[in-house]
Amino acid sequence: MRSRIVLVAALLSTFLPATQSSAATAVVRDSSTLQLGGVTYRLDGIDAPAIDQLCIDEHADAWTCGIEARDQLTKLIGGREVRCDDLGADPSYKKRHLGACKIEGDTTSLSELLVRQGFALNVESAATGRFETDEARAKEDRQGLWKGCFVAPQEFRTGKKDGALLGGSCRADRDKEIREALFPEALAMPPGCNIKGKFAVRARVTGNVGIYHLQACRSYPALTEPDRWFCSEDDAQAAGFRRAYNCRAGTKTK
């Protein structure tokens, strides 16, 4: 579904001129999200791991691939200024924008670089082109995520536990064990990301997929097996979660 939304947005962008941002220092939020000044951009044309996603490495050990993917984007930028073509509001979260972003002076987009290094998957996009060749090469060379076993980031974000297993180290005879490792009952909290998220059918009433719980919420201590972890309320809302109703009014988090 997200791929279709991104494609529609990209098609629209072919008729509307993109606005180019001024080169600025980027704050990396996760493996596909960065902030330039007051604008938060989701890198267009790719699907990359959320910060709390787990993968299996080439040694069959659980691996915090979401953290490593975020750190890889930080390394790619290397403290240099970034410039983004603003492709308009992100259809999945209006407070953010889609961006075709490049390091100042570079001709290759950050999206393409992440796919080349195996830390993002190609998503069809009329605005930035497609990265099938880069993805195929990363897969063949077992770069990044492809060295082990993982589920597509979109399937992790929506809790789809029966999706296709990807990567060079997936074993059909270990399917159950791999899925249990990718979707553990007790998902470890990434450093600095203490907001708990839980998928909930009742959240669909408000058009969401789940509910997030802050430390100040009465429900926080009792939620011992969260499905997701978020670093900020903005991240949780961008993922389609709403705040628990039992949080104290005026509660804020970083």
Domain span at residue 233 reads: 195-243
Shared domain for 199 and 173, answered yes or no, is no
Give me the helices (H) in 86-130, please: 110-116
Shared domain for 148 and 237, answered yes or no, is no
Confidence of residue 19 (pLDDT cuts 50, 70, 90): confident
Shared domain for 158 and 210, answered yes or no, is no
DSSP class of residue 205 equals: G
Residue 134 covered by a domain: yes
Shared domain for 220 and 94, answered yes or no, is no
- Tokens 């993917």 appear where? 69
pLDDT digits (tens, 9 = 90+) for 136-167: 999 999 999 999 999 999 999 999 999 999 99
Q: Is 91 within 8 Å of 33 (Cβ atoms)? A: no
pLDDT digits (tens, 9 = 90+) for 219-250: 999 999 999 999 999 999 999 999 999 987 65
* Mean pLDDT, rounded, for 94-109: 94
pTM of this structure: 0.87
